[in-house]
Amino acid sequence: NTFYLDAFTEVIDHAAAGRTGARPLVSSMEFAQGEGRGKRMSFEKFKELLQSHNVDLSKFGKGNAKSLHQFYTAAVRDEKCFLQLKDHALHRFVELVRIHLRFRSAEGKLHELKINTEMTDEGRERERNQLLAMVMRLQDSGNWRAALERCFETKFGIPVEAQAGLFHIATDAYKYEEYSADSQTIPGIVSTYKTHIVFVTVKDRTRTELQTMGLPDGKEFKTQDGKTQWVWAQVVNSKEDELMQLLQKNCIDISEFTWQSFVELYTEVYEDSLSTIEVVDDQLVRKVRIVKIWLEANVWNEKHVLVIKTKQQRGRTQNVRKLRTLSMRMRALQNWTEAVSEALFLRLGISQQQQREALHTYLLETREEVEFSVSFPGLKTVYSICEVQCEILNPQDQRWQYIGLPAATDFTFSRQEPISNTGEFDTVITRWGWTNSDEMEHKLELGGPKGLKKPCPFDGAAKSTDSLESVDISRKKVVPPDPLPVSGKDELLIMRVMDGKCTDWSRARRAAEQIRSANYSTKDFYGDLVAAFPELRLYCVVREQNGDGRVLLPSLSTLTTSASRTGEDEYQRTIGALFCIFWLMRTHLDGKESFCFGLDLDWKPRTKAHFKEQELEAEYKKRKLFYEKTDWAAIEALFVGAGLLNKVGGTHDVDRTLAMLVLMTIHDVMKLDILRPTVGCGEFGGYRNGEPIGDHDLALSYVLDTCPQALPSFAGLSPAMQESIKFTHCKLDYNMGWLVQAEAPPGALFKAFRKVVLAGAASDRKSASDIAFYFVHWFSDLAGAEAFPLQGCEKFVLKFPLHVLSSFIDSFAVVWNLGPKTETEVFEDYLVWRWNNIGNANPKLGHTPTGTGAIAKMRLVLMAQGDSAEVMRHFLKLKKADREVLSQELAITGCAMQKFKRDSWKENGGPAILIYYAPALLQKAGREDPTGAMMILCEIFRQARSLWPLSTKQEDCDKTVMVRIDVLKELQVSTVMDPRPGIHYVLCRVSTQDAQVKIVTNLDMKEIDQATQRVLQFGGDSEDHAGCFSPFGRTRRSAGRLGRVTRS
């Protein structure tokens, strides 16, 4: 039986037991034999209840014990505790919340509220010296927060709705205790106290609502008509005194510390464990551990590193001028792997599962830096820095979209951060960006740190703001349009948003017609764009409800996109892409200058005079170099191929130009989370009925297919122009870098692309034009990736390797032929064209190869990106068996019934093998030892072929498997050929489509599965493998070696 009674008793102060979330036992029995909860148990029956369980009633009302009547009245009326049978005896349970209410004085001393004295019913004063506490009632149901709110309201008259603004509850310091003892006030019954202990901080002691509590000065005060006297007692903290004595003993002048900085030091040492203080060589030293993370991705075959661009914190937006990667303070006893995992999740939102599956992480070095702290004057600080590299294995993976991949675009991430000693939280918004080696050099030219290893950017370690400056963006961005309100339901929100909106076709056609006119400026163009296309206002949607005012709302500065950017940033990027189209359509006028140098306050191209400041001189040189070295004729030819220009230097197609402007206007609107639709019926692009479409390109395609009228500018185009736009938004699965470096066979490169082309092309000419149209869109979208359209196309001009961009531009024309030609024919034409171009500059390379190894030679030259004649010389130095492997494997197309014309390898078989990062291996390791690098590729091809034997089946001939060599691509040949003792390289098949080279130890070798794994023997005699293109004999030899290694 369980009965709810009272517990007006002395609160026993006992150390926390550490439990959380305890709740009172709830009765499953009736009260007083059927009287029910609606009636009170009579006093007589209450006495009978106690007597029936052998409670001596004569002890009540004597000494400190309550009278029986007091016990009954308080208990039955207020239901503040319960009695329960335990071992045939009544036990009393009391649940309460004990509150450590604290504030810091002007001197930095911590004070805590306590009951000093209390008047008894007899009128005598009794000393209490007890913390603020509140007994919980039945209706609280274990909810200590409700009891806490009632405590402040009933004892001090502070309304519940005002409490959140006055007090901060430290939920991380919550404790729960249980303690049993004989009660002095309730004799004869063992009492168990279930105590919730919470720490509450006064946010601002100067608030007028707190004057009745003796604040801001911490004076004594009374409540309950003067019966209870309260005092703000100073919290005795031996650790604070110990810290102060330690500082003074070691000649640290405490008077130079603010009380806030002293509290910060105490907190980080004793509470947060983020630093330690110790004496080293007779000097007091503060030690801080930092993990610094180089998050790297291979984008367009260039290594990119993630860095901080801007940080918005406490109402200020700051531009980080120096190179600063992801870093975080480490806690005591935290190892570097735990710290890396925590930093990637808290600062970028990368889940642990994604870290395990898609990152390769290893420790680069551990070093120390020493300096005197700005926040703690006179205190020497040693920063122990763990430099860690995290490499993204597949930047093309769509899971990385939220951090700006695969396009290496900027993105933002927000997090909550506590404000020291206030209980408040600040929203920190960080804009991240990907920088490559060229951009790194540009930063160094502007006065940045020398060398790739930059000074450690301590997160919160130093308070100096030398590396930060306020962002002045007034000259970089255009003024965005007014917010676009919407009302109604959300079946297809974009329909509601655009309801009643119309395109101003006169302004739209004027922009398309006048785009090459000398009397038409960028400012005129921008004015026509914002007046013509209502879709531009989609980047600043607000919602209205029933005419009662705006109630929801992502505003222009807070609306987020799928890439974690703000709506304003996405708007600026869209305008930047449109400006790129405008400038490249008028390279015969001022387009090249505007593209490279940006615009001044009068919207005219900037000149050298605008870069007079010393810090801008290097930037001007880089802009000028791009202006002089870029092949503008090739870009113009791309626009001709896309049907935008009728011929080089000639007139333009107004309708097709208008379609491009519409495409660039709408192409990114579905990046806004709020606008993405839900599949209405059936299935679309792999999304089922009722599922929201997460992919922004598919989301736009869904709208274009199912309700094109939702986008009036698209709906008003001719059917032919609409089809060109739809083609551009198909999933083409095209990797430009694979073509430029001949990394992939034609099947992996072009199969998906050509399938889309053949499905939608009305003619070969239309096909080529639409492909070029796609590339113009791709080029312009990337050119406008920086959210500062008035600065020119900075992504290409300042932050993109010019030789890579040139290779991309050169390759566009090759892909236009997809459709009329097969994948293999297009790839072979590209290889021949590149060989001839390289041969013109390097006559030693010789004529375009034919016969055995022709395709291998051309692909290896493009992969190596070096002295082409030297590459061929080393290829011919390879042993016969190795040359045969490369010649045969690099000639397999991955397309059934397709063969290269110039190569003698004509057997039908598959799958083709794509060694991912083969170019990186040849460009780094191959620079010093080209022969050795090719031998490494040979062994990988051999072992991969033993995992995927050559087959003549249709599905195998049409297939390409990927072999990742991430762990090898940065190593020298000698390191791979002769690894450290106990280290082995193993090729592991991880699925039916791909494999990966892994490093294993002797211990791991015992777990090798011969069905899916192969030990790579880079140092073996390749002549042993002559004639072993079919892998069956080779498999037996590998198994023998594997057995010997295992037995060792």
Distance from C-alpha of 189 to C-alpha of 60, rounded to nearest angstrom: 11
pLDDT at 545: 45
Please compute the mean of the pLDDT values over residues 51-68 and round it to a whole number: 84
Torsion, CA 275, CA 279, CA 281, CA 284, rounded to 10: 70
pLDDT above 70 (res 872): yes
The pLDDT of residue 1021 is 53
pLDDT reported for residue 259: 63
Integer Cα distance of 565 and 403 in angstroms: 10
Backbone angles phi, psi at 254, to 5 degrees: -65, -25
pLDDT for 10-52, tens place per residue?
Answer: 333 333 333 333 333 333 223 333 344 446 778 888 888 888 8
Q: What are the residues whose beta carbons fall under 8 Å from the beta carbon of 1037, sequence distance 6 or more?
A: 1024
Three-state DSSP at 955 gives helix
Q: Any residues with CB less than 8 A from the CB of 996 and at least 6 apart, and which?
A: 963, 964, 965, 966, 987, 988, 990
The alpha-helical segments, DSSP class H, found in 601-689 are 614-629, 632-641, 654-666
Distances (CA, A) of 850 to 646, 828, 858: 38, 12, 10
Predicted structure pTM score: 0.56
**By percentage, how much of the chain surpasses pLDDT 90?**
32
Confidence at residue 987, expressed as pLDDT on a 0 to 100 scale: 94
The answer for 950, left when phi > 0, alpha when psi is -120 to 50, beta otherwise, is beta
Q: Which residue intervals of 500-644 are DSSP H helices? A: 505-513, 522-532, 567-584, 591-597, 614-629, 632-641
Higher pLDDT, 816 or 398: 398
Of residues 175 and 731, the one with the higher pLDDT is 175
| Distance in angstroms (rounded) separating the CA atoms of residues 356 and 405 | 18
Residue with tokens 């006297």: 229
Orientation angle between helical segments 854-864 and 880-889, nearest 10 degrees = 90
DSSP state of 269: I
pLDDT tens digits for 885-915?
A: 999 999 999 999 999 999 998 888 999 999 9
Given a cut of 50, is residue 552 above it in pLDDT?
no
pLDDT at 654: 96
Cβ–Cβ under 8 Å, residues 385 and 351: no
Distance CA(149)–CA(160), nearest Å, equals 6
Asked whether 945 and 1040 are in contact (CB, 8 A), the reply is: no
Buried-state track 138-156, b at ≥16 Cβ within 10 A, e below 16: bebeeebebbbbbbbeeeb
What pLDDT, on the 0 to 100 scale, is given for residue 372? 77
Burial status of residue 1032 (CB atoms within 10 A of its CB: 0-12, 13-18, 19 or more):
exposed
Ranges 28-37, 308-317, 394-403, 849-858, most confident: 849-858
**Taking 70 as the threshold, does the pLDDT of residue 7 lie above it?**
no
Q: For 461-490, what is the mean pLDDT? A: 50
Residue of 115, 101, 96, 91 whose CA lies nearest to 1? 91
User: What's the whole-number mean pLDDT along residues 511-516?
Assistant: 96
Distances (CA, A) of 232 to 98, 130, 947: 16, 11, 76
Name the more confident of 756 and 42: 42
Contact by Cβ (8 Å): 590, 605:
yes
C-alpha–C-alpha distance, residues 471 and 319, integer Å: 6
- Scan for tokens 């739809």, then name that residue: 726
> Bigger pLDDT: 439 or 313?
313
Q: State pLDDT tens for residues 138-183.
A: 777 778 888 899 999 999 999 999 998 899 887 767 888 888 888 8
- The amino acid occupying position 930 is P
Q: From residue 555, give the alpha-carbon distance in Å to each of 485, 543, 692.
A: 10, 9, 22
Please, which residues have CB within 8 angstroms of residue 270's CB and are 6 or more apart in sequence? 239, 243
Question: How many Cβ atoms are within 10 Å of 952's Cβ, its own excluded?
Answer: 11
Band (pLDDT 50/70/90 cuts) for residue 1020 is low
| The pLDDT value given to residue 581 | 97
Q: How are beta strands 228-234 and 275-280 bridged, if at all? A: unpaired
Tokens 């003067």: give the residue. 226
Q: What's the confidence (pLDDT) of residue 466?
A: 33
CA 477 to chain centre: 25
Q: Could you report the per-residue pLDDT of 918-970, keeping only the tens digit for each?
A: 998 998 888 889 999 999 999 999 999 999 999 999 999 999 999 989 888 87
State how far the Cα of 545 lies from the Cα of 554, in Å rounded to an integer.
Answer: 14
Residues 256-277: tens digit of each pLDDT: 777 667 777 888 887 778 888 8
Confidence of residue 785 (pLDDT cuts 50, 70, 90): confident
Average pLDDT, the chain: 80
Lowest mean pLDDT among 308-322, 484-498, 582-596: 484-498
Lowest-pLDDT range, 199-203, 239-243, 573-577, 812-816? 812-816
Q: What is the DSSP letter of 625?
A: H
DSSP code at position 450: S
pLDDT tens digits along 298-343? 887 678 899 998 888 766 777 776 778 999 989 877 889 999 999 9
Confidence of residue 726 (pLDDT cuts 50, 70, 90): confident
Strands (E), 137-213: 167-169, 175-182, 190-202
**Mean of the pLDDT values across residues 589-602?**
94
State the Cα–Cα distance between residues 182 and 161, nearest whole angstrom: 39
- Quote the tokens at residue 854: 């022709």
CB 913 within 8 A of CB 945: yes
* pLDDT tops 70 at residue 617: yes
